[in-house]
Structure 1
Amino acid sequence: MTSSLNRRDLLRGTLLGGIGLAASTRLPALAQAAPTTKGHLKQSVARWILHDLSIDQLCRTVKQLGLSAIDLVGPADWPTLKAHGIDSAMCNGAELGLTKGFAATEFHDELVTRYMRHIDLVAEAGYRNLICFSGNRNGMDPLQGMRNAEVGLKRLLGHAEKRGVVLVMELLNSRVDHPDYLCDHSAWGVELCKRIGSSNFGLLFDIYHMQIMEGDIIASIRRNHEYFVHYHTAGVPGRHELDDTQELNYAAICRAIRDTGFGGYVAHEFSAEHSDPMDALRQAIALCDV
């Protein structure tokens, strides 16, 4: 994908406005019945990977592809999703970005204000998952960062529990894409979950990021699945489509997720390099339909 618009861009400003992206000419070719799937795993797609579609076009497209949800969509676009009967599988818009998160106490007051308001918005919309981030280390000891994150998140948990909203911290790699990000290993995130001790806090296990940081993906899923409330896919190396140019066996990974009894979403979040993004998404859906 050659566009400079990426996920980091789309994480900014979703609370106050829509994305307003250009229309795509590919949409009419999708006018066909949705494919039949096994339905053992619910699949979603990150809003940014088909960034040339308007949100209305994207909703129609995902329905035609047999999906029922979109990831990383903020409140301005929720009315359009609702009009199409599409779920917001992972809501965003409360965060201060990927680098300014709950590990740094100087951001706690602003984050708490933003997340308290956003928890209400998510609940009132009838959605469930709201993304959050640890932020960067900035020289901080990882254990101190965990303690800080625990303190900040616990200021929100009572309200989240009351409103039925789950705060979901994403595991990201700090080796290639997000230098200095703190929540970069599943062990760190799982320990934070244990300290918080609430079913209204969990982890977004991004398979691409964790393959880069630690590998052993299937074993990690089997060992820690109770803390993983959402999954993202992408190929390694390069965060590209799920094809034979990359090293991950997504059919096996998705069977492992399925076998844990997982009831959430596996969301596709890749940048197609070797094929048309729509074709790549179709192939990913079929591959992960186990």
Structure 2
Amino acid sequence: MPRFAANLSLMYQEHAFLDRFAAAAADGFDAVEYLFPYDFEPAELAARLQAHGLTQALFNLPPGDFAKGERGIAIRPGREAEFAAGVAQALRYAQATGCRRLHAMAGLVQPGDDLVLLRRTYVNNLRTAAQAVAAHGITLLIEPINTRDIPGYFLNFQQQAHDIVAEAGASNLKVQMDFYHCQIMEGDLLTRLRRHHAGVGHVQIAGVPERHEPDERNEVNHAALFAELDATGYDGFVGCEYRPRAGTSAGLGWLKAWKASKTGKAGAA
């Protein structure tokens, strides 16, 4: 049965960020993920994880100037040193929190960009970053993201991502498969999962099209995807990266129903 991680950047926004760890644990989650940890000290985050018995499943490398619209700098020529510094910063947080998955956001394509140069820069940066984190048992991830949520994002399709991983040639570089983004861009989720599962290092979910709970009020059959994850032997976490319609805890009926279907009885999320 898949193991679920609460995404604290989108979920539990009714609580201050540091209080979201306790809220997630109270709802039965044993892991969390979030976009960025850098507003807090590593030891502070580690203490919250330890206090509530939580695993840190994932977070992102520094994305550049997020407030000004940057969504990663891995593709940007001339910013290799900044990217490498971000890897070093993320590694400090990963070591403190025990996190074994780091996501490197690619970045946005600008008018007039040389796409060949962007790809070459991306592959070189990923190869170098993967080597830097490998000694710490960490997997580096890249994620195709839909062009509706992030217009202009460089990486949009599953095959595109797996081709880049193959070109980089690092054994600890894998693809973060977010079924929400994949459904919007290309659909055919079960077939794509079956085709690419060996190269998938992390999975995320959200209801389509509105990025709410992955329940019966969306167009994706998540129960079938969870069963397929089991069939493929996927042993990582499934990140719940969605925006609850109302209160986070009140919206976890989908998770309780799924767990009940596996155990034969109702239970906490």
Deviation at 1:125, TM superposition (A): 3.4
**Ranges of 4+ aligned residues in structure 1 off by more than 6 Å:** none
Deviation at 1:80, TM superposition (A): 1.1
Q: Is 1:112 equivalent to 2:84 in the alignment? A: yes
Which of the residues 74, 77, 81 maps onto 1:102? 74
The 3 A distance-change label for structure 1 pair 285 and 71 is farther
**Structure 2 gap ranges (5+):** 263-269
Aligned to 1:79: 47
Which of the residues 124, 145, 150 maps onto 1:172? 145
CA distance in 1, matches of 2:81, 2:180: 32
Aligned to 1:182: 154
Q: Is 1:91 equivalent to 2:59 in the alignment? A: yes
Aligned to 2:209: 237
CA distance in 2, matches of 1:141, 1:193: 20
The AA in structure 2 aligned to 1:101 is I
Deviation at 1:56, TM superposition (A): 5.0
The AA in structure 1 aligned to 2:57 is A
Higher relative contact order (CA 8 A, sep 6+): 2
The AA in structure 1 aligned to 2:201 is V
Deviation at 1:260, TM superposition (A): 0.8
| SS of residue in 2 equivalent to 1:77 | helix
**Structure 1 gap ranges (5+):** 1-39
The 3 A distance-change label for structure 1 pair 246 and 142 is farther
The AA in structure 2 aligned to 1:95 is P
Deviation at 1:279, TM superposition (A): 2.1
| CA deviation map 1:117-145 (0-9, x unaligned) | 32243134322111211111214455543
The 3 A distance-change label for structure 1 pair 244 and 56 is same
| SS of residue in 2 equivalent to 1:105 | coil
Whether the 8 Å CA contact 2:207–2:215 is kept in 1: the answer is yes
The AA in structure 2 aligned to 1:261 is G
Aligned to 2:254: 283
Q: Is 1:254 equivalent to 2:189 in the alignment? A: no
| SS of residue in 2 equivalent to 1:44 | strand
Mapping for residues 257-272 of structure 1, pairs under 5 Å: 257-272=229-244
- Equivalenced residue count is 249
TM-score when scaled to structure 1? Answer: 0.79
Aligned to 2:30: 68
Which of the residues 142, 167, 173 maps onto 1:201? 173
Aligned to 1:154: 127
The AA in structure 2 aligned to 1:145 is L
Q: Is 1:47 equivalent to 2:8 in the alignment? A: yes
Aligned Cα root-mean-square deviation (Å): 2.1
TM-score when scaled to structure 2? Answer: 0.84
CA distance in 2, matches of 1:101, 1:208: 23
| CA deviation map 1:55-96 (0-9, x unaligned) | 454223322322211111523523211222211110235332
